C-alpha cells in the first residue's frame, strides 16, 4: 500500500464490504468512513479498512448536518472526496426482480443531497451502465447538471473493467467530478485484459475441491453444495467454457429451457468459465451455477467464495466475515473491484498535487 496522505480524505457511501475504500486506501487516500445500512458489512469493513469508521445508517434517513456530527468534516473542503457507489440492481439490464430493488432506485438522489451540502473537492460515482441508459429516470441528468453548476469538471463513461486489469467482462458506469482544477480526470485503460487463468487455478494457490467444500480458514475456499442432478449436468458440460447445451437433449434438461426461445436467452446459466477468457461479471449470485456462467472451468462445482473475490481483485488476505455463503457473496459481488478503485484514487492524487 502507498503511503497514506492525511490531507486527501474520503467518505464512502454505500460501502458494503469495502472494495472501493480498500482501493482508495491502497492508492494512498485517507478513508475516514464507510456508510451502509447493512449490519453484516460492519465487521468485514472495519477489519480490512484500517482506521476507518463504519457508520450503520440508511442514507435516505440520514440528514446532511448529522454526518459532520459523526465524523470531523466541513463544507467546501478541497481535500474531501465523496464516493457514491449505490446498489444498482434496479438499473441493471440483468433480469432480476425489480420489486425487491425498487427502494434503492433513488439512492443517487440521496447521495446528491450530501454532495450539494458539503461541496467536496472530488466526487466519484460507480454504477451499472443502465443508470446512464435511463439517465432521466435515474436522476443522473440532474446530478451531472448540478455538479457543473457547482463548478465541477465532470467526466463519465461506460468502461469495460477488463481493460483496467480486472479479469472480468464487467462493464460499469464511472464518473469523476473535480472542482479543484480545470481538468477532467479519469484513469487511462492499460489494456492488459487478463483472463481467468491469470487469477485462479492450482498455479495461483487454489487447491482442487468438491462441491459443498467448507473452508474454515481465513482463505475461505468455500463452495456451495450441488444436488446429484446438477453434478451429473456438470460432468457432461465440456471443460473450459462448455455450456448446458451439451446435455440439452437428455433427461437432465431443465423444464424451463425445453422451448427454443428460453433455451437461447439464458445461454450462460449452468455454463463453465473459460481459462483463456475473462470471467463474466461477478454478481452477488456467483456461488450458484444456475445464475450464470459461474461453474469452475474444470471442476464439477461453482467457483468458491475466494475465487470470486480474487476475480474481483480482492487480495487473498482480505477477510470476509458473514453468516453464510450468500451474505459473503453479496459483499463480493456488490463491490467495486479494488484494483480499479486504486486507479481512480491515483488519478485524483495526481490531479490534487499537480495543482499550481
* Residue 323: all three cell numbers together: 453468516
Same domain, 284 and 175: no
Q: What is the pLDDT of residues 217-250, one digit of tens each?
A: 999 999 999 999 999 999 999 999 999 999 999 9
Mean pLDDT for the stretch of residues 189-209: 97
Contact, 277 vs 240, CB < 8 A?
no
Same domain, 148 and 212: no
Q: What is the pLDDT of residues 47-59, one digit of tens each?
A: 999 999 999 999 9
**Is the per-residue pLDDT at 5 higher than 70?**
no
Min mean pLDDT across 32-36, 120-124, 193-197, 261-265 is at 261-265
Same domain, 169 and 276: no
The CATH number linked to 110 is 3.40.50.150
Same domain, 168 and 214: no
Write down the pLDDT at residue 101: 41
Q: Is 321 contained in some domain?
A: no
What is the radius of gyration, based on Cα positions, of the chain? 21
What average pLDDT does the structure give for the chain?
91
Query: Which one from 15, 41, 88, 193 is the annotated catalytic residue?
Result: 88
Mean pLDDT for the stretch of residues 26-30: 97
The CATH number linked to 219 is 3.90.120.10
Q: Is 70 contained in some domain?
A: yes
Write down the pLDDT at residue 25: 97
Helix, strand, coil abundance in the chain, percent, nearest 5: 40, 15, 45
* Residue 305: all three cell numbers together: 467464495
Same domain, 267 and 306: yes
Contact, 296 vs 271, CB < 8 A?
no
Number of domains in the chain: 2
pLDDT grade for 327, boundaries at 50, 70 and 90: very high
Kindly give, in sequence order, each residue whose CB lies less than 8 Å from that of residue 99, ignoring residues fewer than 6 positions away.
none
Same domain, 134 and 167: yes
**Is the per-residue pLDDT at 198 higher than 50?**
yes
Q: Is 327 contained in some domain?
A: no
Nearest Cα neighbor of 341 from 8, 52, 78, 18 is 18
pLDDT grade for 256, boundaries at 50, 70 and 90: confident
Does residue 15 carry a catalytic annotation? no
Burial class (CB in 10 A: 0-12, 13-18, 19+), 127: buried
Write down the pLDDT at residue 20: 98
Q: What is the pLDDT of residues 78-126, one digit of tens each?
A: 999 999 988 755 434 444 454 554 454 578 899 999 999 999 999 999 9
Enclosing domain of residue 302: 200-312
Write down the pLDDT at residue 3: 60
Hey, what's the torsion of the CAs at 251, 252, 258, 260, to 10 degrees?
-110
Write down the pLDDT at residue 355: 83
**Is the per-residue pLDDT at 136 higher than 90?**
no
**Is the per-residue pLDDT at 257 higher than 90?**
no
Q: Is 210 contained in some domain?
A: yes
Amino acid at each position: 500500500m502507498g503511503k497514506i496522505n492525511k490531507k486527501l480524505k474520503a467518505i464512502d457511501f454505500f460501502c458494503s464490504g469495502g472494495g472501493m475504500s480498500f482501493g482508495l486506501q491502497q492508492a494512498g487516500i485517507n478513508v475516514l468512513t464507510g456508510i451502509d445500512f447493512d449490519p453484516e458489512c460492519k465487521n468485514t469493513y472495519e477489519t480490512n479498512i484500517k482506521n476507518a469508521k463504519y457508520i450503520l445508517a440508511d442514507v435516505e434517513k440520514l440528514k446532511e448536518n448529522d454526518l459532520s456530527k459523526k465524523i470531523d468534516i466541513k463544507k467546501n473542503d478541497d481535500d474531501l472526496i465523496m464516493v457514491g457507489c449505490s446498489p444498482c440492481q434496479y438499473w441493471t439490464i440483468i433480469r432480476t426482480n425489480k420489486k425487491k430493488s425498487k427502494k434503492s432506485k433513488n439512492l443517487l438522489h440521496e447521495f446528491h443531497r450530501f454532495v450539494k451540502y458539503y461541496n467536496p473537492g472530488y466526487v466519484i460515482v460507480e454504477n451499472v451502465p443502465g443508470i446512464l441508459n435511463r439517465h432521466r429516470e435515474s436522476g443522473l441528468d440532474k446530478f451531472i447538471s448540478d455538479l457543473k453548476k457547482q463548478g465541477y469538471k465532470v467526466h463519465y463513461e461506460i468502461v469495460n473493467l477488463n481493460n483496467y486489469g480486472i479479469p472480468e467482462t464487467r462493464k460499469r458506469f464511472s464518473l469523476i467530478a473535480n472542482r479543484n482544477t480545470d481538468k477532467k480526470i479519469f484513469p487511462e485503460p492499460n489494456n492488459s485484459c487478463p483472463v481467468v487463468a491469470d487469477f485462479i487455478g492450482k498455479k495461483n494457490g487454489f487447491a482442487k475441491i468438491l462441491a459443498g467444500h467448507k473452508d474454515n480458514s481465513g482463505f475461505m475456499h468455500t463452495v456451495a453444495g450441488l444436488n446429484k442432478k446438477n453434478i451429473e449436468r456438470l460432468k457432461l458440460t465440456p471443460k473450459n467454457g462448455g455450456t448446458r447445451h451439451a446435455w440439452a437433449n437428455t433427461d437432465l434438461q431443465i423444464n424451463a429451457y425445453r422451448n427454443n426461445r428460453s433455451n437461447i436467452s439464458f445461454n450462460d446459466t449452468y455454463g463453465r468459465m473459460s481459462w483463456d477468457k475473462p470471467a463474466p461479471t461477478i454478481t452477488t449470485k456467483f456461488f450458484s451455477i444456475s445464475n450464470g456462467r459461474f461453474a469452475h472451468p474444470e471442476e464439477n462445482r461453482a467457483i468458491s467464495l475466494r475465487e470470486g473475490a480474487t476475480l474481483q481483485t480482492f487480495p487473498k488476505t482480505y477477510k470476509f466475515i458473514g453468516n453464510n455463503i450468500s451474505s459473503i457473496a453479496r459483499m463480493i459481488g456488490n463491490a467495486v473491484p479494488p484494483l480499479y478503485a486504486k486507479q481512480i484514487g491515483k488519478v485524483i492524487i495526481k490531479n490534487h498535487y499537480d495543482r499550481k
